[in-house]
Chain A
Amino acid sequence: MGFLEITRKDLTLLVRDRRALVVLLLLPMAFICILGLSTGRLLGWRNDNQLLKLGVVDNCDSLHSGLIIARMQAIDGIKTVRVTSLTEADERLNDRDITAAVVIGEQFESTVGILKPQDIFDVSEARMKISLEDVDIQIHSRPAAAMVHSVVDQLVLFCTLQAVLPDAARRSTMQSTVTNLLMGNSESETAKPGPSDKLTTTADAKSTTSAKPDNETSTTELAEADREAEPGNPVYQTLVPAYTVMFAFFLVPIMGRSFIAERELGTLRRLRIAPISAVDLVLGKTIPFLVISLAQSAALFLFGRLLFGMSWGIQPLLLIPIVACTSLAATGMGLLIATLVRTDSQVSAYANFLVITMAGISGCFMPREWLPEVMQTVSLGTPHAWSLIAYHEALSTPTPDISTIARSCGVLSVYAAALASLGCWKMSGSRD
């Protein structure tokens, strides 16, 4: 059990190394803050001039009306505010405090509660059969803002359909056909998407999920999930996991330096002379960094939630395997690099270059969907990309696809095992 002693010793040394702690904990937070500030989203603040601010008068206050409001809030660029009455809404419209008002009437729930898909869509002519007025929803805007009125009308209709369709579909034997038609999904399109295909918008993901014919989730559960799923600040939903991944791999140079220090201090020879196995030595030198990496990720997600208002997704527990597998991959890479580099300069030159380059091409610096398709494919060669894919699935989709997360975690585990094995092999051949 020599590895426990080495682990304890290295954790003590790491805690005493304030510079390393700054790099691992404070630097990523600083990065997130700076980028949050540069995008105008620091601490939840956003530039209202760039938003469509909708006043919502919910006279129905039902399950489906709540769903509509939640879905509107989830759309980037829309801000909803509750307004108590139509009079207040008109006043705020006149004061230009809101862009438009959405009035959900008292008859809304009773109207949508009996709808069937065939009441909503004319399948034979492929057109909508109902409008917002038919379900007792009205859009109020200033007379001169006709364009805005049309846009809001379409958005609210879209959100309404998303909210009421699952229940309507259940009432109909046409569920499968209609929902596929509505969402524009052919059978082939509903096949399991690849990793890059998963990078859809939140709304798209929700639509796809809702339309799954074999989806066993009941409408009530979905509705509850939608209510529980806080949309979070979309900037931080991307920034926090991106920088968590990037800085998880900043362990690589720190691990490299730890091994170099051990070698330069001569203590590595002493450890190898001691009656402990090579496995003990490797584990003992790796586990502290795994612990630090896990703590780092946990801290960043905690800070992300407390300071930046990010959401941990519909199933926060899904973050645990992702964090664990990412940390394993990072420490595996750290072990390999630690056995390859011989000097501090080599750490600076190779490890930092490798870590920053991999972060760049994998999508840590910008959303992956912004990357060209070829780069998205190339980036799958990095553990970072798989981690980002898993985080995106867990954090930004209302019903995360477990298989996508499992596949990403599996790939990360393979990376960890392969990198650590190479590191062990290199270490066993080392003279010192």
Chain B
Amino acid sequence: MIVPLGTVRLSQSIIVPMREMVAGLKQTTWFSTGKSGIPAAPDNIVLRPLEPFVNLLEVDRIRKSFNGHVAVNDLSFEIRTGEVLGLLGPNGAGKTTTMSIIAGLLTPDDGHLRYRGEAVIGNSSALKTELGVVPQDLAIYPDLTAQENLTFFGRLYGLRGQQLDQRIRFALDRSGLTANAARLAKTFSGGMKRRLNFACGLLHEPKLLMLDEPTVGVDPQSRAYLLDCVRQLRDDGVTVLYASHYMEEVEGISDRVVIIDHGQLVTSGTQEELLGKLPIDIRLRFAGDAPPLAASLSTIEGVAAVEPPIQNSTADFTTVIRTRVTASDNADLCGLLGQIFNVATARGCSVLSVTTNDSNLERLFLELTGRRLRD
């Protein structure tokens, strides 16, 4: 983002809104934020939120290891009613193990899970009934039709008769598969299979829906459709735990984000809170007598680098100030910039522009988990 400033002197009144503007970049996402014709739940389908912002599920210091390898280590976070919680982490971070523990597929070596305030490990029937899971890999029967798949999974959750028919119609409608209900799932495209996989997970009106990278390998249209479905579900009051590698997706739909790595919690909070922790790179371009200014700027603490002056026809040059700023550091940032501008003024230079890097989850993720390749 480039903010043309001309020769205007920057003051603190300008800098503070700039931080908000940087944080606001998260709202620029690549996918459609429209509803794409996603049907809302009919009135007779109860998708109502529980008490908002009550902890629906609490993960309390759970630990799980396999053959000496610790997959999840003392991990704690909570999922609040009615929110979409993004679960981020590189490969092998422990996301799937964590979700498997929540789903009751694995028993943790230590720690507790509490669903609506009650411990569920070893007795997860209450959670199982209200939990919907859309696994990372497809989990449908290719030799059954879409309708048969939904009927089977619906019956497993105790749906019968009219209620089952109604739920199947709703799930088919929401996943855009009504016209293909009688086709065998093996004849579906990848995107249609993903949508059927999704529909199977939400058929029984789950209060908590866990999605483990549900958009892997689907075309942009199906991806946008699925994400719109998640938003619609949130609007309907369903609590969602959404694990993904796609930062844009998580940015677009999550109310809060949990980042884990090596089985441990790295950070958690709302996107605003997390992005506030992200270092901001500010690049300043000056016009004027470059070498003396560059030499002076290099001596200022907080200036990360001063690039060699670039001579051009207008004799302007660029220098870069890179500093790590958090929300509580606004005063420092203002002081630093004030110091720089004073030096520039003293040297007879003017500010041509101020440029900042995008501040988004992907940068935050890489900052927190590093750029090293994961197995």
Q: Which residues of A contact B (CB under 8 A)?
A: 2, 5-6, 8-9, 12-13, 16-17, 265-267, 269-276, 431-432
Contact = CB atoms under 8 A, between A and B. Distances in A.
A162 B14 CA distance: 119
Q: Which of A2, A12, A16, A267 has the most C-beta atoms of chain B within 10 angstroms of its own C-beta?
A: A267
B104 A273 contact: yes
B139 A269 contact: yes
B60 to A, nearest CB: 21
A16 to B, nearest CB: 5
Contact of A266 (B125, B137, B157): B137
A185 to B, nearest CB: 60
Interface of B: 103-106, 125, 128-129, 131, 133, 135, 137-144, 148, 152-153, 155-158, 200
A274 B155 CA distance: 10
Nearest first, the 3 closest Cβ-Cβ pairs linking A and B are: A266-B139, A275-B128, A274-B156
A157 to B, nearest CB: 65
Say whether chain A's binding surface is mostly helix, strand, loop, or mixed: helix
Given A265-B142, A267-B140, A275 B135 contact: no
A432 B97 CA distance: 12
Contact of B144 (A13, A17, A276): A13
B128 A13 contact: no
A272 B104 contact: yes
21 contacts: A5-B155, A5-B156, A9-B141, A9-B144, A12-B144, A17-B143, A265-B141, A265-B142, A266-B135, A266-B139, A267-B139, A269-B105, A269-B135, A269-B139, A270-B139, A273-B104, A273-B128, A273-B131, A275-B125, A275-B156, A431-B106
Contacts of A8: 152
Contacts of A275: 125, 128-129, 156-158
B167 to A, nearest CB: 15
B131 A266 contact: no
B138 A266 contact: yes
Contacts, number: 62
B275 to A, nearest CB: 34
A273 B105 contact: yes
Given A265-B141, A266-B135, A272-B105, 9 more contacts: A12-B144, A13-B141, A17-B143, A265-B138, A266-B139, A269-B103, A269-B133, A269-B135, A274-B157
A274 B128 contact: yes
Nearest to B152: A9
Q: Which of B106, B148, B152 has the most C-beta atoms of chain A within 10 angstroms of its own C-beta?
A: B152
B141 A267 contact: yes
Contacts of B129: 275
A431 B139 CA distance: 16
A107 to B, nearest CB: 73
B213 to A, nearest CB: 13
Q: Which of B106, B137, B139, B144 has the most C-beta atoms of chain A within 10 angstroms of its own C-beta?
A: B139
A270 B144 contact: no
A432 B104 CA distance: 11
Nearest to B129: A275
Contact of A12 (B142, B148, B158): B148
Q: Which of B140, B141, B153 has the most C-beta atoms of chain A within 10 angstroms of its own C-beta?
A: B141
A208 B239 CA distance: 77
B210 to A, nearest CB: 9
A274 B105 CA distance: 10
Contact of B143 (A2, A13, A271, A272): A13
A94 to B, nearest CB: 68
A431 B129 CA distance: 21
Contact of A270 (B125, B133, B142): B133
A16 B141 CA distance: 12
A270 B153 contact: yes
Contacts of B143: 13, 16-17
A428 to B, nearest CB: 11
A432 B100 CA distance: 10
Given A12-B148, A275-B128, A275-B129, A432 B105 contact: yes
Contacts of B104: 272-273
Given A5-B156, A9-B144, A274-B153, A265 B128 contact: no
Q: Which of A6, A8, A13, A274 has the most C-beta atoms of chain B within 10 angstroms of its own C-beta?
A: A274
Contacts of B138: 265-266
A225 B22 CA distance: 98
A395 B144 CA distance: 42
Contacts of A432: 105
A222 B295 CA distance: 122
B144 A273 contact: no
A229 to B, nearest CB: 46
A173 B346 CA distance: 142
A276 B204 CA distance: 14
Nearest to A268: B139
A17 B104 CA distance: 32
Nearest to B158: A275
A262 B148 CA distance: 16
A259 B148 CA distance: 19
A16 B105 CA distance: 30
A20 B138 CA distance: 24
A270 B135 CA distance: 8
Nearest to A16: B143
A84 to B, nearest CB: 63
Nearest to B127: A275
Given A5-B155, A266-B135, A273 B140 contact: no
Nearest to A262: B141
A273 B125 CA distance: 10
A225 B227 CA distance: 75
Contacts of A274: 128, 153, 156-157
Contact of A276 (B105, B142, B156, B200): B156
Contacts of A2: 156
A270 B156 CA distance: 10
Contact of B139 (A5, A9, A265): A265
Q: Which of B144, B155, B156 has the most C-beta atoms of chain A within 10 angstroms of its own C-beta?
A: B156
A412 to B, nearest CB: 32
Nearest to B137: A266
A187 B56 CA distance: 79
A350 to B, nearest CB: 24
Contacts of B128: 273-275
B138 to A, nearest CB: 6
B103 A273 contact: yes
Nearest to A4: B155
Contacts of B106: 431
A270 B148 contact: no
A2 B152 CA distance: 10
